[in-house]
Amino acid sequence: MCFYFKQSKEALEVANRFKLTIPETDTYVNPIIYNAFSHPLCETITSTNPSCITRLSWGLIPQWASDKSIREKTLNARIETADKVKSFKNHINNRCIVIADGFYEWKHLKTLAGNKLQKFLITSAEDNLFAFAGIYSFWYSAESNENIGTFSILTTAANELMSEIHNTKKRMPVILKKMDEQSWLQGTDLREFAYPYSVNLIASQVNDDLKIKRGGNSGLLF
């Protein structure tokens, strides 16, 4: 699963990496650590607007939903079944990539003192910035009379490294190879990506006493 990630690069570096047009006034607060459970606005690139940043709220709200509550269950979508699940199947061709430079996962440990969670930061060994595969929706809110853009991050079976860390559910976000980012946005079949990618990742143990929080400000999390 993927519920916490970070993006700490400046706007110009993001623009150069993804070949984007970014307004001169666009600046990012660094570092930003995104907490899925607070449904923050995240930097994405969508299939309909691939040359610009589109900020979408984390937790896909399908167009048929009567309210926002479903987004608590749509933070991630299993790539193997997304085309069959009611919440996702009408949006699988609404592709986006979610810009990141690291994500967090916790390893379950058994110690003499009892069960423990060890926090890890996962980064790419090949690139300062990378992209998660995502799908998105624009949902009309009658309450606020606006269209709200939302997204889910796709997950797949964990590769060898992530199986060691996410050692209970053994899942990981779909991290796109740089050469596959455009194929994803252009609608290549989901099944082409429904396997553990051979991306070169680095896992760094994070030694702090801060705990997982569900909710709260996206910049002050855990």
Residues with a catalytic annotation lie at: 2, 105
Q: Can you tell me the distance from the alpha carbon of 33 to that of 55, in angstroms, rounded to the nearest whole number?
A: 15
Query: Both tokens of residue 220?
Result: 């002050």
With residue 134 as reference, give the H or E element that holds it. strand 130-141
Q: Can you tell me the distance from the alpha carbon of 61 to that of 188, in angstroms, rounded to the nearest whole number?
A: 23
Q: Can you tell me the distance from the alpha carbon of 27 to that of 5, in angstroms, rounded to the nearest whole number?
A: 19
151, 96 Cβ separation under 8 angstroms: yes
Give the closest residue to 122 by CA, choosing from 148, 90, 96, 100.
100
The dihedrals phi and psi of 13, each to the nearest 5 degrees, come to: -65, -40
CB atoms < 10 A from the CB of 115, how many? Answer: 8
User: Per DSSP, which regions of 158-215 are E strands?
Assistant: 171-173, 175-176, 201-206
Q: Can you tell me the distance from the alpha carbon of 214 to that of 222, in angstroms, rounded to the nearest whole number?
A: 9
